[in-house]
Amino acid sequence: MEALRFQVVGEAFKKKPLDVKAPAERPYEYFGKKVFNREKMYKYLPKDVYEKMVDVIDNGARLDRDVADAVAAGMKQWATENGVTHYTHWFQPLTEGTAEKHDSFIEHDGKGGMVEEFTGKLLVQQEPDASSFPSGGIRSTFEARGYSAWDPTSPVFIIEDTLCIPTVFISYSGEALDYKAPLKRALHAVNVAATDVCHYFDPAVKKVQSNLGWEQEYFLVDEGLYAARPDLLLTGRTLMGHDSAKNQQMDDHYFGSIPERVAAFMRDLEIQALELGVPCKTRHNEVAPNQFELAPIFEETNLAVDHNMMLMSLMKKVARKHGFRVLLHEKPFAGINGSGKHNNWSLSTDNGILLHAPGKTPEQNLRFATFIVETLMGVYKHNGLLKASIMSATNAHRLGANEAPPAIVSSFLGKQVSELLDHIETADKDFLSMTGKQGLKMDIPEIPELLIDNTDRNRTSPFAFTGNRFEFRAVGSEANCASAMIALNSAVAEALVDFKKRVDAKIPEFEKKLAGTEHSAKYHAIIDVLREDIKTCKPIRFDGNGYSDEWVIEAEKRGLDVEKSCPKIFERYLDKESIDMFESLGVMTKKELEARNEVKWETYTKKIQIEARVLGDLSMNHIIPVATHYQSALLKNVENMTDIFPIDKAEKLNARNIKIIEEIAERTSAIEKGVDELVAARKLANKIEGEHEKAIAYHDSVEPKLDEIRYQIDKLELIVDDALWPLPKYRELLFIR
């Protein structure tokens, strides 16, 4: 064991970067090479088919079968010219990953030979086995039929020799079994609701698009060290390991010089990501050692989610080529920063207006205030649901630790926006006046265009306004962004629908009051409803320190969700308000929500169960044998000292060793006792039939045992001979050479 560990560590430290040649082309020249984008469609499709496809993508027009056949033919021609032999419907089941089943193009030609075919039918729909994917009871094992259906708004792409077709995944009875289907419904809902509200300010708006810019944080470790850590291999995080004497306390890794091997990996990753259409923009060292970040230019939300799922898969493959393993677990190492995936979210119109950005006129700034306030209304009303959308067994370790936001959803706005909303709320009701139909004057200073630079940042805010968008900082690094985006876009859509309903109801009232004047009833109604909503959602606004104990008390007083138990947080999906919202918008039915919660509870239980089994195995088969072996060596040393020296001198010389021997005995005994209790708690929890109750039992009774056992092991790591310790330590895992 001694030789193996030091051989693994030594080999990791000797590694040199691969000889990756400098790109022969500029980065933008790689972009979209392996994507059937508009450029490829224009080249490979007939003109009328191309125009119909653009109408489908941009305007949601119906896709006719003859169009699908023509598109399939063009796709196949492009794909085969690029060495493709297979195709797959690429979808996102409720596993936090992606799924694919590859079929070749070949078919019998009826003459004893083979021919390559790819029809519109094969492009549009397939029938993968649905029985083995998480369904929360919607599908039984003996009911295997499920369907994947092409999403034409997300471009087809090539991975090696396979044409990948982004699809939704639904059951035989029509329920969504994936993330994409409800995401697309939520995006449609916010489009309709936001467009209706935009018509108060600009009747020419035809469409509102949800945008997403994710920031993917991740850790890299040497592949050999990773393989020597069964806990990393099986759970994605270290279940034991004492702090390194030096970790992130010197703040020298953040934005520091990127290690040569890592830079080579990043270049390789970016080139391949660009070829797949992922618009990589930013790369840098993050706060913790071995932690890095990649961020793209923002995109339409559905496409951005697909690109993030593609990137997470790609980076794992590229990392192995460079002798690394990527860790996407939110908290792979204790005592240092975890990894998040900040979701920068905004809304924009088809004529290029960012709805969360201030304008140049009072009227534009009234629109700005409207969308800020109604976003806050959605977040306030469904703050517990938004927390549930980003919660998981893995992200629970990160939230509230180091620089991650706390497990309480609140929104930081900054001084200027807060003052604007306060002014609208408290100003004299006659502060609004009209000149003609469009002239709007408000007793509110115009918001400067450079507000994006005048807004401070609050790193403890889970949902912070950053100038022209909101940054949902609580999303975990290995999560599918769709989960948070489904909840957020739905909550905002519901708030906008309610806002318009109330404004429309007030307009006739103001028309009577303002009869014979030049004042606008519409704008008076908007201001009136905004005042109501600013007061209502004020509890969600918090600009202070989200880490403080005082904030937890204050948040509870404000009626915000302060629950910390992961399984209980998931319950927010089944609140009446959540069900009513999702059903009224057509995003998800109560049956689909109940099924997804079954999956969430079951997944939580399984992850804690696996961690418990791994820790028990490592404790009994790795740690205790090594500790007792060292203890035996010390006992032999004590015995030899007693044989050689006089008793009084031997006692003095043996004092330190005897102290260590006693400590090892106490700690190994505590570990054995802890493992026994862990096994007993797990067995008791496993007898519970309901997934909800079982998950709660695992959270309350099993998970705490992991930390108790870890504490004892980490103390042993400090006293057991370093040459005997069987696992690579933090000081070895966290510093790439």
> Using one digit for the tens of pLDDT, what is the confidence trace for 401-419?
655 677 899 999 988 899 8
Tell how far CA 73 is from the center of its chain. Answer: 36
Would you place residue 447 in the very low, low, confident or very high pLDDT band (cuts 50, 70, 90)? low
Structure tokens at 733: 């895992």
Residue 589 pLDDT = 97
Structure tokens at 432: 């609004």
Please state, as a whole number, how many other Cβ atoms lie within 10 Å of the Cβ of residue 68: 22
Residue 328 pLDDT = 97
> Using one digit for the tens of pLDDT, what is the confidence trace for 542-585?
998 888 889 999 999 999 999 999 999 999 999 999 999 999 99
Instruction: Express the helix, strand and coil content of the chain in percent, nearest 5 each.
Output: 50, 15, 35
CA-nearest of 424, 505, 406 to 464 is 406
What lies within 8 Å, CB to CB, of 283 at 6+ separation is 258, 266, 270, 292, 293, 294, 295
- Average pLDDT of 367-390? 97
DSSP string spanning 663-717?
A: HHHHHHHHHHHHHHHHHHHHHHHHT--SHHHHHHHIIIIIHHHHHHHHHHHHHHH
CA-nearest of 440, 291, 241 to 359 is 440
- Average pLDDT of 512-516? 79
Residue 32 pLDDT = 95
Residue ranges in 63-179 assigned as alpha helix (H): 65-81, 120-124
Residue 445 pLDDT = 53
Mean pLDDT for the chain? 90
What lies within 8 Å, CB to CB, of 97 at 6+ separation is 309, 313
Q: Cβ distance 416 to 451 under 8 Å?
A: yes
Tell how far CA 146 is from the center of its chain. Answer: 26
Q: Is 34 exposed, middle or buried (0-12, 13-18, 19+ CB in 10 A)?
A: buried
> Using one digit for the tens of pLDDT, what is the confidence trace for 432-442?
443 334 445 55
Length of the chain: 737
DSSP string spanning 183-214?
A: HHHHHHHHHHHHHHHHTTT-TT---EEEEEEE
- Average pLDDT of 128-138? 74
Would you place residue 140 in the very low, low, confident or very high pLDDT band (cuts 50, 70, 90)? low
Residue 435 pLDDT = 39
pLDDT over 50 (residue 655):
yes
E strands present in 239-300: 280-285, 291-296, 299-300
pTM above 0.85, yes or no: yes
Residue 701 pLDDT = 97
pLDDT over 70 (residue 491):
yes
Structure tokens at 673: 């006792």
pLDDT over 90 (residue 375):
yes
The residue with greater pLDDT, 415 or 540, is 540
Query: Does an H or E element contain 142, and which?
Result: none
What lies within 8 Å, CB to CB, of 40 at 6+ separation is 32, 78
Structure tokens at 482: 């769709």
Query: Does an H or E element contain 11, and which?
Result: helix 2-14
Q: How many CA atoms lie within 13 A of 561 on its CB side?
A: 23
Lowest mean pLDDT among 29-38, 147-156, 170-179, 603-612: 170-179
> Using one digit for the tens of pLDDT, what is the confidence trace for 27-53?
888 999 999 999 999 999 999 999 999
Residue 546 pLDDT = 86
Measured in degrees and rounded to the nearest 5, phi and psi for residue 126 equal: -140, 175
Would you place residue 19 in the very low, low, confident or very high pLDDT band (cuts 50, 70, 90)? low
Residue 360 pLDDT = 83
The residue with greater pLDDT, 450 or 29, is 29
The residue with greater pLDDT, 674 or 172, is 674
pLDDT over 50 (residue 515):
yes
Residue 172 pLDDT = 80
- Going by their DSSP bridges, the two strands 432-435 and 439-442 should be labelled as antiparallel
| CA–CA dist 379, 356 (Å, integer) | 15
Gap between the terminal Cα atoms of the chain? 23
> Using one digit for the tens of pLDDT, what is the confidence trace for 684-713?
999 999 999 999 999 999 999 999 999 999
Would you place residue 115 in the very low, low, confident or very high pLDDT band (cuts 50, 70, 90)? confident
